[in-house]
Amino acid sequence: CQTGEVAADPQLYDQSYLSPVTIGNSELMLDFDTGSADLWCFSTESPAAQSAGHGLYNPSTGTELDGAFWDITYGDQSAASGNVFADKVVVGGVTATKQAVEAATSVSYEFTEDVASDGLLGLAFSSINTILPQPQTTFFDTVRNSLAKAVFTVDLKKGAAGSYTFGYIDSSKYSGAITYVPVNTANGFWQFTADGYSAGGSDSSTGRGGVAIADTGTSLLYLPASVAKAYYSGIQGATFDFRQGGYTIPCSATPPDFNVAIGGKTFTVPGSYINYAPLRAGSSTCFGGIQADTGIGFSIFGDVFLKAVYAVFDDSGSSPRLGFAAQ
């Protein structure tokens, strides 16, 4: 029975978190993404102009999946595509001997520019894996039956290294009880229902809850437009800046804490997490960590939320569930 733990290293402004993964005989830094289901990496097949500065997977250690190709586009319209090899993948000591490794032959500029990241490791449900003609399993699904318990946990931190564990829950990482809620897998995400939101110490609710996904691969917290509007109405100098594509606040602001009710429990995101980052280096205007989920179709509980809690992605029972506890 396998168990393992790997560090989650924050990038600038906690824009993403990277973890070391051994693929074949290379160690790469991958962005673990519970919002997608492809394990892809820069490779010796990637054009040099696109892969300069990145760690590369050399498929010579793998076995090509003949005729298999992949092509993925993310919510931010970044994209990547390539071919597929079966190879050994090790995460924190947990080994998948024949994992589908998606070698990139083309990536969009957003990935080229993010030189710290060598690719993504998808942890959503394998039903949304993009490999054709036959979708393959995620790392978690590949090793699931060999784990002591079919779970993985997410313990992200603000501006500090957190961790992912596979196969066990670490009771030293959270306080109080874990609150579990059912997951709807119809869209391939870890999708759940949030009960409601409120700002600051007041119980003045900023709105009813709704459908949401837990997504480590998204930096911010995207909520119903009415909830975001109500939240920022309480911050002096906050405004919706069409040019920046979202709410901005003065970097000098102290936003109120933000409360989320899930499964009858309230989880608090410290207001400081919502003073996200200067629009550009030296700017006194900061981008808000809460934004409207307009056009997405559901709310996205990205890293701004996840770094305030301990999260359990549990597929050990008759149907998947999510657990949340205070950190």
Ligand X SMILES: COc1ccc(CN)cc1O
CA distances from 78 to 53, 75, 154, 310 (A): 18, 7, 24, 28
Active-site residue, selected from the candidate residues 33, 87, 141, 293: 33
* Residue 33 touches ligand X, criterion: CB under 6 A: yes
Rounded to an integer, what distance in angstroms lies between the CA atom of residue 75 and that of residue 289? 17
| Residues 1-20, interacting with ligand X (CB under 6 A) | 16
Rounded to an integer, what distance in angstroms lies between the CA atom of residue 280 and that of residue 174? 34
* Residue 35 touches ligand X, criterion: CB under 6 A: yes
Active-site residue, selected from the candidate residues 87, 215, 303, 315: 215
| Least separation in angstroms between CB 253 and ligand X | 27
* Residue 76 touches ligand X, criterion: CB under 6 A: yes
Which one, of 315, 311, 314, lies nearest residue 327 by Cα?
311
CA distances from 181 to 212, 250, 313 (A): 12, 36, 10
| Least separation in angstroms between CB 67 and ligand X | 26
Rounded to an integer, what distance in angstroms lies between the CA atom of residue 88 and that of residue 247? 43
Q: Are strands 119-122 and 39-41 parallel, antiparallel or unpaired?
A: antiparallel
Rounded to an integer, what distance in angstroms lies between the CA atom of residue 115 and that of residue 56? 11
- Scan for tokens 């978190």, then name that residue: 17
| Least separation in angstroms between CB 39 and ligand X | 13
Contact window for ligand X (CB under 6 A) among 28-36, 45-53, 86-94, 267-275: 28-36
| Residues 201-240, interacting with ligand X (CB under 6 A) | 217-218
Give the per-residue contact string, 114-153, with ligand X (x = CB under 6 A; - = no): x--x--x---------------------------------
**33 is known as an active-site residue:** yes
**31 is known as an active-site residue:** no
# chain residues binding ligand X, by CB under 6 A: 15
What are residue 209's DSSP bridge partners? none
- Catalytically annotated residues: 33, 215
Binding site for ligand X (CB under 6 A): 16, 31, 33, 35-36, 74, 76, 78, 110-111, 114, 117, 120, 217-218
